[in-house]
Amino acid sequence: MAWLKGRGVAAVNYPTGMNLGGDPSQALIHATTTGSFVVTLSSVDLGQGIKTVGAQIAAETLGIPYENVVIDTADTDTGPHCMGTFASRGTHRIGNAIMMAAREAREVMMDVAATELEVDAGDLVTDGKGRIHVNGAPDKGISVVDVALAAHFKHGRTISGRGMFLKPKSEVVPETGEMDPDSCQAHACTIAEVEVDDETGEVRVIKLTNAYEIGRAVNPALAHQQIVGGAWMGVSHALYETTEPYYPSRAHGPLDFSQYLMPGPGDIAEMDSVIIERPAANGPYGAKGIGEMTANSPIPAIANAIFDACGVRVTTMPITPERILRGLDALRARAG
């Protein structure tokens, strides 16, 4: 019996959004009388953090504090249209829609502030802390709260904005098959270090080193958390998860999640990840998508590391101890 060490590398590129005849997302923004801004979406936050990132994008565009933005994901009956949370499109599509809505709302906000201050709207700037003032003259200004109150009760105006981001459908060129399938592409590379027990076929994932190029990381902490969570899913796909193990029959498959095999806390590998920022020209503040691809590169990296460790090339997931042992038996048989 011996624990064999191996290292494997895999790199992927992943599309942001899909070529679905526009693939649109909408956002609506309005100011309350307290100076807060409500962003209404039909986009679902699956835990990836679209509420946080959306609030950041809205606050940056409006020029107000992050704490003054409320994200209301509502539902598909009452909210503006969204194609859905898929294709790693959330930050890109929804973020762009929020930016467009926020720019429209900001224009109304600055116009009302200009009226109150008796200046030209083009001379005003926001300080990001809840105040609007004349550029170069911080003392001549007004709070966003007072602007909202004036808009509602004095000028009869609604500080609001609408945004819809879509990508026109790219038809296939019949002669070449050429098309534009997405909005931008992110990239990732994973190096996996594993140990393989040549007697039992057990695999231990010791360390995963990841590099992700995701455009601009709007929220680096959330991006790192997605990398860690996605890597856990990648390990689970590579080594554990299956609904139909087929040995010796389908009847042995899991009946519920208490029987569905996944890695536990003790199986989580050491993680070292870096984010590379190369902003996308069409992304909100340069952001691309990151979500789904975080589970992609760890899988082939682990498979390559297993091959490096014991010489067994497994092409069916999950890479179970049984499959490794069968591969080792085949190698020994060929060696005579």
- Helix, strand or coil, per DSSP, at residue 44: coil
pTM of this structure: 0.90
The rounded mean pLDDT for the chain is 92
The H or E element that residue 70 is part of is: strand 69-72
pLDDT at 66: 96
The H-assigned helical ranges of 87-245 are 95-117, 144-153, 220-239
- Is-contact 179 119, C-beta < 8 A? no
pLDDT tens track for 296-311:
999 999 999 999 999 9
109 φ, ψ (degrees, to nearest 5): -60, -45
Pairing of strands 160-167, 22-31: antiparallel
pLDDT at 218: 95
pLDDT at 155: 96
pLDDT at 205: 97
pLDDT tens track for 140-159:
999 999 999 999 999 999 99
- Is-contact 15 88, C-beta < 8 A? yes
pLDDT at 294: 93
The H or E element that residue 157 is part of is: none
DSSP 221: H
CA–CA gap between residue 272 and residue 208 (Å, rounded) = 6
CA–CA gap between residue 306 and residue 318 (Å, rounded) = 12
pLDDT at 27: 96
Residue among 157, 150, 163, 151 nearest 57 (CA): 163
pLDDT at 245: 67
Q: In this structure, what token pair is assigned to residue 126?
A: 């926001």
- Is-contact 105 30, C-beta < 8 A? yes
pLDDT tens track for 234-279:
999 999 998 776 666 777 778 888 888 899 888 889 999 999 999 9
Q: In this structure, what token pair is assigned to residue 140?
A: 């001549």
Q: In this structure, what token pair is assigned to residue 69?
A: 């933005």
Task: Map tokens 């069409």 to a residue.
Answer: 282
Residues of the chain with pLDDT under 70: 245-248
